[in-house]
Structure 1
């Protein structure tokens, strides 16, 4: 394929499943607990009691004082009303919140997370991309990651064309970023967003299907990618590069993309996918 076409269609989609748990992270903001309401003290109104005015006789008479008024004590003190807990604020699914969380949980010492992950529509892109991968397809208009800056390269030898090892190295920074996230922490954040993800999937997929099944199907597609020795022979039909080996060319698009990351990167990616798959399956059985 042409360099521009290859850069457009062979972006780092191989990492979409690797970061499926990552890109749905966001901070959850809980309001501070309000002070418990205090019932006002009952106001005691003392009645105005006046002795009746009488005409004073010529001879003073001593009148007995009226008995003091006493307030009647109630039999039972009414219970205090239960405090009403405020409802939690909705999840912040904004792109800045998601990326901020990614940076927080990454052990990377550079700016790779901010630099490699796109800035718009992360949650929507995630659902569309995983759904397409589970269906053996790519989602070129819903990339989660920025494409590599380096171009795809081949070299010629003995009248044939082979993938240059430099083409594999351009994906290594993405794999490093993937490995900077701890799998169990990612799954915990994924659980937070299950409801939002399921709602979005119902809009584009099967409303009665659990999105976890879609994720596992997508992971299995990539894990089934064969490992082949290098160098790998390719040819061009003046528009795109294709694998000379028909077994490789007949792989689905996500598998062919994973193959293009090179044998070392692919092994590292598969190891991370197996970790995530195991955690998802264990989580689903609980």
Structure 2
């Protein structure tokens, strides 16, 4: 089915920068999801042992899933940003993470999975040099999300991904990809972000059927993920791209293909 045309006057429900948060934070978010489903200890039960350091060596592919305490330590080591902590505390995160990864790898906007992260302020434009361009205020709507991405520790995120790899892979296969390679899909998703165009200076737009589209046909011809990054503005787009490259390195994935973990 043909995808609906993405336009600038319809506020993005899942901007590209948020997609990176989902890719990076998904494994950690799963830890919160699993921990929230654990029954409370019976009355009088001994207190849980302190969570181990998240700097422990990476788990091997056949290692058992980490305990809820270990999962929490892995998540918290990724970022101390309050907005990040709130996002990863949302429910149904295992399924949302693998769906977002799949969508991003295929260049499809996963807006249905990330609607709660849409900016509250509306898109805006201004007149400049005889053209209608995206207003700086439209970019600033995403600065808080850009700060979250910048705050993420790529090495800690990679440890979390490896520790929860088996559960994440099973969740991805359950989407209908029995022979899928989670690492290959993750690498493809991150490379799409790393390779997306970033543009300095004003970006001209024009009205078409009551909505704003990019005036430059080359930009308008880009996919939904790449368009979302452009709408975030050069500052936030480059934060996303830099973090995607950091993750590719931390996960042992090359710029053109994934290497063994």
Q: Normalization by structure 2: what TM-score?
A: 0.73
Summarize the Cα distance change of 1:196–1:91 in structure 2 as closer, same or farther, 3 Å threshold. farther
Query: Residues 117 and 257 of structure 1: is their aligned pair in 2 closer, same or farther, counting only changes over 3 Å?
Result: farther
Deviations 1:73-120 (A, max 9, x none): xxxxxxxxxxxxxxx88855xxxx988964564233xx3224455722
Q: Is the 8 A contact 2:195 2:241 kept in 1?
A: no
CA-atom RMSD, angstroms?
A: 3.2
| Structure 2: gaps of 5 or more residues | 1-6, 36-40, 46-63
Q: Partners of 1:243 and 1:91 in 2: how far apart?
A: 48
Show the counterpart of 1:188. 159
Shift of the 158–98 alpha-carbon distance from structure 1 to 2, 3 Å rule, reads: farther
The answer as to 2:15 corresponding to 1:15 is no
Which consecutive aligned stretches of 4+ in structure 1 deviate over 6 angstroms post-superposition? 97-101
Aligned residues: 222
Name the structure where helix makes up a greater proportion of residues.
2
Please name the residue that 1:165 is paired with: 136
- In the alignment, the residues of structure 2 paired with residue 242 and residue 252 of structure 1 have an alpha-carbon distance, to the nearest angstrom, of 13
Once the 2 structures are TM-superposed, how far is the Cα of residue 13 of structure 1 from its aligned partner? 3.9
After superposition, the Cα gap between the structure-2 partners of 1:213 and 1:174, relative to the gap in structure 1 and judged at 3 Å, is same
Q: Could you tell me which residue of structure 2 aligns to residue 209 of structure 1?
A: 180
Q: Distance in 1 between matches of 2:13 and 2:219?
A: 16
**Structure 2 CA distance for aligned equivalents of residues 224 and 127 of structure 1:** 21
Normalised to the residue count of structure 1, the TM-score between the two structures is: 0.67
8 Å contact from structure 1 (residues 234, 242) kept in 2: yes
- The separation in 2 between residues aligned to 1:157 and 1:174, in whole angstroms, is 27
